[in-house]
Amino acid sequence: MSEPVALGLRERKKQRTRAAIQREALRLFESKGFDATTVEEIAEAADIAPSTFFTYFPSKVAVALQDELDPLIIEALNAQPPEVPPISALRNAMRSTFSVLTPEQERMLRQRMRVMASDPALSAAVLNQFSELLDEVANVVAGRTGVSPDDFAVQNLSGAILGVVMATYRVIARNPDIDLNRLLDDALAHLEAGLPLPVPAQSSGSGAPGARAPRSAS
C-alpha cells in the first residue's frame, strides 16, 4: 500500500530538483551569460552535486531548452474535439494552457526566451531542434486530419506553425510586459487567416486596400 505513495514522493522530489536546477541555471545565464556560467556554479546554486546535474540534464543547452509547458499543450490539444481544425485546436490548447500559468511559470518562460534570444549558441540550438519539432507537430496534425505526417501539406502547415511560434517567442524576449496569452492567440489567428501583411499607410490616399493582419504582436 505504501509503495505507490513512495514512488509519488520520489517523483515529486525529482520534479522539484529539476525545476530548481533550471531556475538557478536561467538566473545565472541571464546575470553572467551562458558561456561564462559553469555546471559547477549551477549545481552549487541548486544545492546539488555537479554529478547530479547530469542525472537531470545532459548539458547546459538542454537546461535552457527544457520547456515544461510542452506536454501540457499536447495534452490540451489532444483533448480538443476531432472536428476542430488543427490551427483552431492549437489556438484553443495554447489559450487554455497559458491562461492558467502561475506567476513563477510565466517568469521562467519569459526568462528562457530572453536567454535563448541573447546567446548565439542557444539560438542555433533552437534551430537544430527544428527537424525534431517538425516531426512532432506533423504527427499531431496528421492525427487530427487522417493524412500522412509525410504529406507535403502536413509538413508545410507544421513548419508554418513552428515558424509562427518561434517568431512569437522572439517578440516575448524583446517585450517584458507583453500579454503572453493574447500574443500567442493573435499569432495563431494570423496564421489561420493566411498570414496577411498589414496595409502600409498611404500618404496620397491612393492604392487598393489589402488584407489586414490581427492585432500587432510587436
Average pLDDT over residues 51-77: 92
Find the radius of gyration of the CA atoms of the chain. Answer: 20
Which set of grid coordinates corresponds to residue 79? 483533448
How many other β-carbons are positioned within 10 Å of the β-carbon of residue 2? 6
Between 1-15, 76-90, 141-155, the lowest mean confidence (pLDDT) is in: 1-15
Between 48-52, 59-63, 137-141, 204-208, the lowest mean confidence (pLDDT) is in: 204-208
pLDDT exceeds 90 at position 81: yes
Phi and psi at 36, nearest 5°, equal -80, -15
Confidence of residue 71 (pLDDT cuts 50, 70, 90): confident
Average pLDDT over residues 51-71: 92
* Percent with pLDDT over 90 in the chain: 57
Instruction: Look at phi and psi of residue 211 and say left if phi exceeds 0, alpha if psi is from -120 to 50, else beta.
Output: beta
The pLDDT, as a whole number, for residue 5 is 52
Provide the residue type at 210 as one letter. Answer: G
- Put simply, whether the predicted model's pTM sits higher than 0.75 gets the answer yes
How many other β-carbons are positioned within 10 Å of the β-carbon of residue 175? 15
Q: Whole-angstrom distance between the N-terminal and C-terminal Cα of the chain?
A: 54
Show the DSSP H helices in 1-69 as ranges.
2-32, 39-46, 50-56, 60-65
Q: Tens digits of per-residue pLDDT, 169-218? A: 889 999 988 998 899 999 999 999 999 998 887 655 444 444 444 454 44
Which set of grid coordinates corresponds to residue 6? 513512495
